[in-house]
Structure 1
Amino acid sequence: MNGPLNFSADALAEEAATLQQKLGAGLATLREVDDVDFGATTRQEVWRDGKTVLYRFIGTEPRRQRGEEAPTAKIPLLISYALVNRPYMVDLQSDKSIVRNLLARGEDVYIIDWGYPDRSDRFLTLEDYIERFIGGAVDHLRDTHGLDAVNLLGICQGGAFALCYAALHPDKIKNLITMVTPVDFHTDDNMLSNWVRNMNVDLFVDTLGNVPADTMNLCYLTLKPWRLFVQKYVGLVDILDDKRAVEDFLRMEKWIFDSPDQAGEAFRQFVKQFYQGNGFVNGGITIGDREVHLGLVEMPVLNIFAEQDHLVPPSASKPLKGLIGSSDYSELSFRGGHIGIYVSSRAQKEVPGAIHEWLRDRA
């Protein structure tokens, strides 16, 4: 007989037995789980400035020998990721890798690894990240490939950096791709922006210096507390008897909590000019002594956003169309969230192919 909560004693007993079975199987599974890491594709350091390293993805040896991962694209693709996480979400594991799928289509893929800032990096500015690091990587690729301009893919905060660089140096960027990139920071559904809009960022940075990674992680987790503090760990019970699924779960957890500290001065500038000043829309973004005007972004632009993104909602990304000077603007709407756009099976099928075809049409 069902009680007032609409479940029976038999159903409750069956659920308890299933839980006990899963937990028992989990003890065996956890003894078999291998050490997990992220970054599935072989890469080679080609340029360095301080802690910032430019890597070229070179694929796996057997596939290179068969010519399956030899780049056929004549223009390299440089990836600029956000500062708040390690950049290898785009290459998390062999079956969840946008990078590997781009390589398989012949793209020549590079990525900037910002490293782990320490106290010696406290006074790095946005000019350092955009002009010195992105600019240095772009110039290295231009020199080594004998090109005037390269392709640039900016992701999340790295997309905002890419937009700034493209506006300041439009002659050096052939095609620009932005993925889950915030442009209008003052939309009503941007919870993170609403949180920090009235923050005393000067007091915050002057007190802490660099911003601890744990502080940033806690902020992001509390955007969806039930899902990220409770539900996903309850859901872990359901996969405890699946070694591969457990390893996938642990790999994602390792990536989430392997976050760099934030260089204090750059953090101050980014919060003030982007989150609080909404500088792409209102003006006022200054990199060094130069002001950023998105109207100078006149190269082809592909803007990719995720429909269920809680960090960068589509309403924050889509205004890019009306702000840039390019007449060649395309959008790709992905059915998923901020993380799913990198690692879901749908993403592996849709995103790399769309990027490759868009670039191929503008080669």
Structure 2
Amino acid sequence: MLRVISNRAPTPDVAPHMERRNPLDLFLQSQIARAAGGISPIAMQLAFQDWWRHLAVSPGKLGELAGWWAGSAANPARDDAATDARFADAAWRAWPFSQYAQGFKQLEQFWRLATSELPGVAPHHAEVVAFTARQLLDMYAPSNFLWTNPEVQRAAFASGGRSLVDGARNWGQDLCRRLAPPGAAVSQPVDQRFEPGRQVALTPGMVVYRNELIELIRYAPQTDTVYREPVLIVPSWIMKYYILDLSPHNSLVRYLVGQGHTVLMISWRNPDARDRDLGMEDYLQRGLFAALDQTAALCGGAPVHGVGYCLGGTLLSIAAAAIGAGEQPAHGKLASLTLLAAQTDFSEPGELGLFIDDSELAFLDALMWDQGYLDGDQMAASFQLLHARDLVWSRMMREYLLGERSAPNDLMAWNADSTRLPFRMHSEYLHRLFLHNDLAEGRYLVAGKPVALSAIHAPLFVLATERDHVSPWRSVYKIHLLCGGTIDFVLASGGHNAGIVSEPGHANRSYRRHAANVAPLGYTSPDEWLNQAERCEGSWWPYWRQWLVRRSDRQRGAPPPMGPALGPAPGRFVVQP
């Protein structure tokens, strides 16, 4: 059990940047961070101060804003609200609701102008102010309130008030779950339960290795012969692994084994306060390298197709750089490297970077130091902010005002099955990768020695998704500046999760690739690449599988022995609370 924060001092073996932090400061800042939802109020204040003071000494900008407001009020653009999904219903075209919608869209445009193109404001501060203004506006959109939303009023009238009663019940259920102490038995809608091993994560397999950090799952072969090179998948430990093995119809694992590939998957243990000192080096050595060793042993030392998703892809690229430089030769050879929505250069991480600066991380470090980990709900809240319009306010309007629960599905259930992140690992990840960009700039250390991604010699398949707010595709594309080897870059439709779960036959799926199927000579900017890319209808999975086959031994053989069985898939770790 954790001791009170004020009774323990930072020790050098916990996190280097915490050595000089005062325990009293940590305690106070952890309480402030908890009350503010992990956000630094000082960082927010500095951003608004920077913006407001520069605006105050810019009379020309103030005059432009006043003139724009007067002009837009006199001649409102009638089609502005119609392009917003919140106001798409025909009822929003009638008075007075049309005035509510148009007035709201005017406010949005005004704040976009007010927070942009203001010389002197630090770019990070300008982005923070614009983002915060957008979040506040979305909170007070007329679609969020009973008396200003015609759809809600129509539903209430048609149902005799039943929709409002159902909405109040939904609100009460969610409030009880939110306020319940950990471990308390709180009722949940039965149809929203997707339990690993029962409804999801169903591909047959066995746990063939387990240590204190990972379980390694070896999936049972589905064909008489298999390719010699196994596929080792390294998922992100921010969420459970089974996004890549959801339902049978959309499981990437099931697809691969059905095509003759030997597939292994890392399942990360869900840490708690006792694991506060686990760092990035532990996840590399006792996680990925341990899995590589076991994979090589099970498959006769054959080269491995490494596949990393999100943070797992970042870790895989670090491992590949260390192996390529000859620093970690004992862990075998990589036949290829596939990075799915994984960043290696964090200089432009998109809106997630709004939560990353020195002040934000000081408060977040204090919060994690107090708890020993970052809770999954706290992490999920940050991601929800990036999609607050759809994931928060539109959902609340639908569930609490219209009384309609969202139709459950496997992807939603997986997204709610969050994990905790150890204090040291997450702090190192944020400081070394996001804040200081050590990996891209050659300062990231593995076993005490810096690694460079230019040491990666294996061919790379790099996939990004068009609407990714976690790993923006232009940020993912920066790997072209870091690796000199062959890179096949593919841009898939969808977002960070749905763009990966893109099985053949899924409606409205497409991807873009270079028309010649190879990277052009020399560096091509992201926009140039996009202009030259060929758009292909359907799933990217078959294209990627063909890419793997071309980098595999053509001679297929009998599947290698399954190895020692520690229990059936999906294993123990994935069901840990």
- TM-score category (smaller protein): 0.7 to 0.9
Mapped to 1, the partners of 2:314 and 2:295 lie a distance apart of 21
More strand by share: 1
- The more displaced of 229-238 and 263-272 is 229-238
Q: Which amino acid aligns with 2:352?
A: L
Structure 1, residues 152-194: CA drift from partner, whole Å, max 9, x if none? Answer: 001100010000000111352110000100122121x611123
Mapped to 2, the partners of 1:211 and 1:13 lie a distance apart of 43
Question: Is residue 272 from structure 1 mapped to residue 431 from structure 2 by the alignment?
Answer: yes
Mapped to 1, the partners of 2:152 and 2:312 lie a distance apart of 50
Q: 1:246 to 1:19 in 2, by over 3 A?
A: farther
Question: Is residue 222 from structure 1 mapped to residue 363 from structure 2 by the alignment?
Answer: no
Q: For the Cα contact (< 8 Å) 2:235–2:313, is it kept in 1? A: yes
- 1:115 maps to 269
Q: For the Cα contact (< 8 Å) 1:126–1:287, is it kept in 2? A: no
Give the Å deviation of 1:263.
1.3
Mapped to 1, the partners of 2:429 and 2:189 lie a distance apart of 44
Give the Å deviation of 1:45.
0.3
Mapped to 2, the partners of 1:175 and 1:337 lie a distance apart of 24
Question: Identity rate of aligned residues, in percent?
Answer: 22
Q: For the Cα contact (< 8 Å) 1:71–1:108, is it kept in 2? A: no
Aligned ranges 1:14-33 → 2 under 5 Å = 16-17=157-158, 33=191
Q: For the Cα contact (< 8 Å) 2:275–2:372, is it kept in 1? A: no
Q: For the Cα contact (< 8 Å) 1:179–1:305, is it kept in 2? A: yes
Structure 1, residues 244-286: CA drift from partner, whole Å, max 9, x if none? Answer: x8341xx434322321211111112111110011123222111
Give the Å deviation of 1:101.
1.9
Q: For the Cα contact (< 8 Å) 2:465–2:493, is it kept in 1? A: yes
- 2:207 maps to 45
Aligned ranges 1:140-219 → 2 under 5 Å = 140-170=294-324, 172-187=333-348, 190-198=350-358, 199-200=361-362, 202-219=365-382
Structure 1, residues 320-353: CA drift from partner, whole Å, max 9, x if none? Answer: 1121131x21111101111111334237952321
Q: For the Cα contact (< 8 Å) 2:306–2:336, is it kept in 1? A: yes
- 2:95 maps to 3
Q: For the Cα contact (< 8 Å) 1:211–1:263, is it kept in 2? A: yes
Mapped to 2, the partners of 1:233 and 1:98 lie a distance apart of 32
490, 496, 501: which one aligns with 1:338: 496
SS in 2 for 1:124: coil
- 1:260 maps to 419
Q: Which amino acid aligns with 1:191?
A: E
Give the Å deviation of 1:25.
12
Give the Å deviation of 1:129.
0.8
Mapped to 2, the partners of 1:284 and 1:11 lie a distance apart of 55
298, 323, 328: which one aligns with 2:482: 323
Question: Is residue 106 from structure 1 mapped to residue 198 from structure 2 by the alignment?
Answer: no
Q: 1:162 to 1:31 in 2, by over 3 A?
A: closer
For structure 1, list consecutive stretches of 5 or more residues without a partner in the other structure: none
Mapped to 2, the partners of 1:155 and 1:196 lie a distance apart of 22
- TM-score (norm: length of structure 1): 0.84
Q: 1:287 to 1:25 in 2, by over 3 A?
A: same
Mapped to 2, the partners of 1:356 and 1:208 lie a distance apart of 43
Structure 1, residues 123-168: CA drift from partner, whole Å, max 9, x if none? Answer: 1121111122111111111111112521100110001000000011
Give the Å deviation of 1:44.
1.2
- 2:469 maps to 310
Q: 1:23 to 1:125 in 2, by over 3 A?
A: same
Give the Å deviation of 1:32.
8.1
Give the Å deviation of 1:42.
2.3
Q: Which amino acid aligns with 2:457?
A: E
Give the Å deviation of 1:215.
1.5
127, 131, 134: which one aligns with 2:288: 134
Mapped to 2, the partners of 1:136 and 1:11 lie a distance apart of 55
Q: For the Cα contact (< 8 Å) 1:305–1:333, is it kept in 2? A: yes
Mapped to 1, the partners of 2:321 and 2:450 lie a distance apart of 9
Structure 1, residues 1-57: CA drift from partner, whole Å, max 9, x if none? Answer: 9433359x9997478538989999999xx9984842231322310111114101122
Mapped to 2, the partners of 1:19 and 1:79 lie a distance apart of 53
- The more displaced of 268-277 and 9-18 is 9-18
Q: For the Cα contact (< 8 Å) 2:225–2:260, is it kept in 1? A: yes
Q: For the Cα contact (< 8 Å) 2:365–2:423, is it kept in 1? A: no
208, 218, 226: which one aligns with 1:56: 218
